[in-house]
């Protein structure tokens, strides 16, 4: 195919993306009306079957995979995933598009029904519109647009709807990778249509280290505090050292990864929780606190690595313990997510860049996420380095009240994904 023919084919794909938009909106609304809220993981079977039904209409063969053996897969809240596969005209590589069907709870502050899927002013409103049910729509209708444009691909397109991304993804993407269903042996490229803005490609994320610090004191009568040892005072000393010694160090470190927002290029630390002494505000008795707990969220950089991150915290706690008489503490790991980065100039990034230039007539921005998403599982468990996130929706709207996605964004991302697919599979 020469340059002129390739251009004409991409024009056909862009027109086909416009022709499927009404159905893409209908699918997104169908899925929004199923409140797949996590926690606890409600209506997952309904959500996943909705995805499967539309995959079948787009010519895919669907396979349903329950997370057998996982503690969170229960009779009340089954963890079910779906993978659709559509074979191309000739053998070749496999592109896997993955979206999570779970959404975070609606929370307060809505002016519309969070599960009403209302359409107004060119937007679809509802919990999960941008994060990321419209992303799943973009994947399915990109494949459908290719079919309608009469464009055959080599290899195969797979599209999955998975669960539990919002709570770590162990019964979702991690399960599919661990069981060998999606690994480097059978999958070359992965695109996750998370909402990162329609002109941005996300090439990874920082690491996460959640840890608990517990201080142990000795209980005594509150009128004679000098006879006890306050665990809360000790926690205060630790928090002060973190604020005045560790935080300034973290602010000096900056990753080379293009993390947005800009301030998240630094290593960061947040205190999630502080509790200690007597729980609750109602009835109190006069006691010195014998226990205090703080839970921390440390986001570390690829350049720092996990071992050095943990060692630094251990060292700081030891130094506080050395100068505060009687301070006893425990450090406990709660969760570790290693950072991930797509190789530079990965074909999956390049094909999306070219497609964004073609559809939106602008240069794509390459970014990394301040948080984390299922890319870690494809990379660390599935060993598929050529994984990125690209999809419709505005990142800042994720998890907010009155969440919405613009129908124009959805249409453009369908065209971008369809063109990127042909460039990847027919290279
Ligand atoms: Zn998401």
133 Cα to the center of ligand 1, angstroms: 9
Residue 380: Cβ within 10 Å count: 15
Residue at token pair 């290029």: 265
195 Cα to the center of ligand 1, angstroms: 7
165 Cα to the center of ligand 1, angstroms: 7
Q: Please answer whether residues 1 and 9 qualify as being in contact, where contact means their C-beta atoms are separated by less than 8 angstroms.
A: yes
**pLDDT (0 to 100) of residue 427:** 77
Domains and CATH numbers, the chain: 3-205+339-425 (3.40.630.10), 208-337 (3.30.70.360)
127 Cα to the center of ligand 1, angstroms: 11
194 Cα to the center of ligand 1, angstroms: 5
Q: Please answer whether residues 326 and 237 qualify as being in contact, where contact means their C-beta atoms are separated by less than 8 angstroms.
A: no
Residue 371: Cβ within 10 Å count: 14
Surrounding residues of ion ligand 1, Cβ less than 5 A:
131-132, 194
18 Cα to the center of ligand 1, angstroms: 25
User: Cα–Cα distance between 387 and 375 in angstroms, integer?
Assistant: 7
271 Cα to the center of ligand 1, angstroms: 23
376 Cα to the center of ligand 1, angstroms: 13
Q: In what order do the strands lie in the sheet with 328-337?
A: 268-276, 291-300, 207-216, 328-337
219 Cα to the center of ligand 1, angstroms: 45
**pLDDT (0 to 100) of residue 1:** 82
Residue among 88, 59, 87 nearest 153 (CA): 88
Residue among 221, 144, 149, 143 nearest 424 (CA): 143
**pLDDT (0 to 100) of residue 282:** 87
96 Cα to the center of ligand 1, angstroms: 17
99 Cα to the center of ligand 1, angstroms: 8
Q: Please answer whether residues 201 and 364 qualify as being in contact, where contact means their C-beta atoms are separated by less than 8 angstroms.
A: yes
CA distances from 92 to 16, 156, 175, 355, 427 (A): 24, 7, 25, 21, 10
**pLDDT (0 to 100) of residue 100:** 98
374 Cα to the center of ligand 1, angstroms: 8
Residue among 161, 196, 191, 205 nearest 30 (CA): 161
88 Cα to the center of ligand 1, angstroms: 28
100 Cα to the center of ligand 1, angstroms: 7
180 Cα to the center of ligand 1, angstroms: 23
Residue at token pair 């505090």: 225
CA angle 377, 85, 188 (to 5 degrees): 45
345 Cα to the center of ligand 1, angstroms: 24
| pLDDT, one tens digit for every residue, the chain (427 residues) | 889 999 999 999 999 999 999 999 999 999 999 999 999 999 999 999 999 999 999 999 999 999 999 999 999 999 999 999 999 999 999 999 999 999 999 999 999 999 999 999 999 999 999 999 999 999 999 999 999 999 999 999 999 999 999 999 999 999 999 999 999 999 999 999 999 999 999 999 999 999 999 999 999 999 999 999 999 999 999 999 999 999 999 999 999 999 998 999 999 999 999 999 998 888 999 999 999 999 999 999 999 999 999 999 999 999 999 999 999 999 999 999 999 999 999 999 999 999 999 999 999 999 999 889 999 999 999 999 999 999 999 988 999 999 999 999 999 999 999 999 999 999 7
In a 3-state reduction of DSSP, which class is residue 119?
strand
Q: Please answer whether residues 232 and 290 qualify as being in contact, where contact means their C-beta atoms are separated by less than 8 angstroms.
A: no
41 Cα to the center of ligand 1, angstroms: 15
The alpha-carbon radius of gyration of the chain (Å, integer) is: 24
């Amino acid at each position: 195919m020469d340059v002129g023919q390739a251009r004409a084919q991409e024009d056909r794909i862009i027109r086909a993306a416009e022709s499927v938009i009404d159905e893409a909106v209908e699918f997104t609304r169908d899925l929004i009306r199923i409140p797949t809220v996590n926690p606890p993981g409600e209506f997952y079977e309904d959500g996943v079957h909705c995805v499967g039904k539309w995959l079948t209409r787009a010519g895919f063969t669907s396979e349903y995979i329950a997370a057998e053996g996982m503690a969170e897969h229960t009779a009340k809240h089954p963890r079910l995933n779906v993978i659709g596969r559509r074979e191309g005209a000739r053998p070749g590589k496999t592109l896997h598009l993955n979206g999570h069907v779970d959404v975070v709870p609606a929370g307060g502050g809505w002016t519309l029904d969070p599960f009403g899927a209302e359409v107004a002013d060119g937007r679809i409103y509802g919990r999960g519109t941008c994060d990321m049910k419209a992303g799943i729509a973009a994947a399915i209708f990109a494949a459908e647009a290719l079919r309608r444009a009469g464009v055959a691909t080599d290899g195969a397109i797979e599209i999955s709807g998975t669960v539990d991304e919002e709570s770590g993804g162990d019964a979702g993407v991690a399960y599919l990778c661990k069981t060998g269903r999606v690994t480097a042996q059978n999958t070359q490229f992965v695109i996750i249509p998370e909402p990162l803005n329609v002109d941005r490609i996300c090439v990874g994320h920082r690491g996460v280290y959640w840890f608990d610090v517990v201080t142990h004191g000795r209980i005594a009568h509150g009128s004679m505090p000098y006879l006890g040892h306050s665990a809360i005072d000790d926690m205060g000393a630790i928090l002060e050292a973190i604020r005045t010694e560790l935080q300034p160090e973290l602010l000096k470190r900056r990753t080379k990864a293009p993390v947005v927002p800009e301030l998240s290029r630094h290593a960061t630390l947040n205190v999630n929780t502080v509790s200690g002494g007597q729980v609750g505000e109602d009835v109190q008795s006069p006691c010195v606190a014998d226990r205090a707990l703080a839970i921390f969220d440390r986001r570390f950089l690829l350049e720092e690595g996990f071992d050095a991150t943990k060692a630094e915290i251990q060292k700081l706690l030891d130094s506080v313990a050395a100068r505060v008489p009687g301070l006893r503490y425990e450090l406990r790991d709660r969760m570790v997510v290693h950072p991930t980065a797509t190789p530079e100039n990965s074909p999956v990034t390049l094909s999306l860049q070219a497609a964004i230039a073609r559809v939106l007539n602008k240069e794509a921005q390459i970014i990394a996420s301040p948080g984390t998403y299922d890319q870690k599982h494809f990379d660390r468990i599935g060993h598929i380095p050529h994984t990125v996130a690209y999809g419709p929706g505005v990142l800042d709207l994720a998890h907010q009240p009155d969440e919405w996605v613009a129908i124009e964004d959805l249409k453009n991302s369908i065209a971008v994904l369809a063109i990127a697919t042909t460039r990847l599979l027919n290279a």
